[in-house]
């Protein structure tokens, strides 16, 4: 869990900081945005956001809680909470921006992860399945 200070800012200061943050991210091209986010976010925060996005896509594509939990290594209580937020209308902008090819690409990638298996412990063809995957 990312640490957040227990001391609250004044709402006016918080709003101004958020506005400046969004303005800095939204200005410039996508390479600049990626660089800014890369500098601002820790590795843990990047993983957390990526998992949340994957959970949203998988829930919208009717994956089971069990399958999502095992794939992304998240608890079912986290999934239930996120699913309730989706049903209540949250994440609408993300869902509309992930229509079509983007969502399909994420689903294909996740399905490849789900299909992936470890090779047998011994035997002549133990790495053969990797050659099949590369084709």
In a domain? residue 6: no
Across the range 87-116, mean pLDDT stands at: 76
Indicate if the pLDDT at residue 79 is higher than 80.
Answer: yes
Cα(103)–Cα(97) distance, rounded to whole angstroms?
Answer: 9
pLDDT of residue 73: 87
Indicate if the pLDDT at residue 60 is higher than 80.
Answer: yes
Indicate if the pLDDT at residue 119 is higher than 60.
Answer: no
pLDDT of residue 86: 93
Token pair recorded at residue 9: 């800012």
Which residue is listed with tokens 């084709």?
135
Let me know whether 58 and 104 are in one domain.
yes
Across the range 22-29, mean pLDDT stands at: 78
Let me know whether 110 and 66 are in one domain.
yes
In a domain? residue 63: yes
Across the range 32-36, mean pLDDT stands at: 81
Token pair recorded at residue 17: 């900081």
In a domain? residue 95: yes
Let me know whether 61 and 77 are in one domain.
yes
pLDDT of residue 81: 95
Cα(42)–Cα(50) distance, rounded to whole angstroms?
Answer: 12
H/E stretch holding 19 reads helix 11-26
Let me know whether 51 and 94 are in one domain.
yes
Cα(17)–Cα(24) distance, rounded to whole angstroms?
Answer: 11
Across the range 81-89, mean pLDDT stands at: 94
pLDDT of residue 87: 94
Cα(78)–Cα(84) distance, rounded to whole angstroms?
Answer: 10
Across the range 105-134, mean pLDDT stands at: 63
Let me know whether 76 and 31 are in one domain.
no
pLDDT of residue 92: 87
pLDDT of residue 78: 94
Which domain, by its residues, includes 74? Answer: 44-115
| Full DSSP string of 95-114 | HHHT-THHHHHHHHHHHHHH
Number of domains comprising the chain: 2
Quick check: 125 and 69 in contact, CB under 8 A?
Answer: no
């Amino acid at each position: 869990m990312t640490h957040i200070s227990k001391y609250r800012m004044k709402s006016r200061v918080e709003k101004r900081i958020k506005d400046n943050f969004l303005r800095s991210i939204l200005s410039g091209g996508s390479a600049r945005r990626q660089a800014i986010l890369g500098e601002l976010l820790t590795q843990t925060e990047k993983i957390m956001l990526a998992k949340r996005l994957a959970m949203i896509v998988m829930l919208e594509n009717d994956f089971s809680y069990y399958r999502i939990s095992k794939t992304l290594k998240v608890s079912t209580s986290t999934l239930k909470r996120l699913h309730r937020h989706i049903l209540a209308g949250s994440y609408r902008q993300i869902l509309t921006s992930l229509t079509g090819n983007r969502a399909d690409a994420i689903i294909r990638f996740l399905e490849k992860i789900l299909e992936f298996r470890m090779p047998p412990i011994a035997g002549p063809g133990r790495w053969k399945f990797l050659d099949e995957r590369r084709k």
